[in-house]
Structure 1
């Protein structure tokens, strides 16, 4: 798995988990979905992604989006 796929899988997991928690536990979990969406928008505009930096430090090989 390369860095691009790891970041997309992580973001998708966060969105799905927070949506499930919002339905089953508390509507306040939507805040996590909003944070993930805002972070994805910010990363698309600036090219800077904290999750990509963490995955890169863990040794995930580079993709084409986050260098």
Structure 2
């Protein structure tokens, strides 16, 4: 699996988990969804992605 695919899968899972938490636990979890979206936008402009750095440490290329 490539690094880009891993980051996309992780972002998608985080969005789905945060939406489930928003519906079933507390509406304030919507801020987690917003954070993930903001992080995706800023990484597109800056190239800095914390998730990619973590996945690189785990050996994905």
Relative to the length of structure 1, the TM-score reads 0.88
The structure 1 segments of at least 4 consecutive aligned residues displaced by more than 6 Å after TM superposition are none
2:39 corresponds to = 39
1:7-22 equivalences in 2 (<5 Å): 7-22=7-22
- Structure number with the higher helix fraction is 2
Relative to the length of structure 2, the TM-score reads 0.97
d(CA) in 2 for partners of 1:51 and 1:23? 25
Q: How many residues align?
A: 61
Gaps of at least 5 residues in structure 1 are 62-67
Which secondary structure does the structure 2 equivalent of 1:60 belong to?
coil
Gaps of at least 5 residues in structure 2 are none
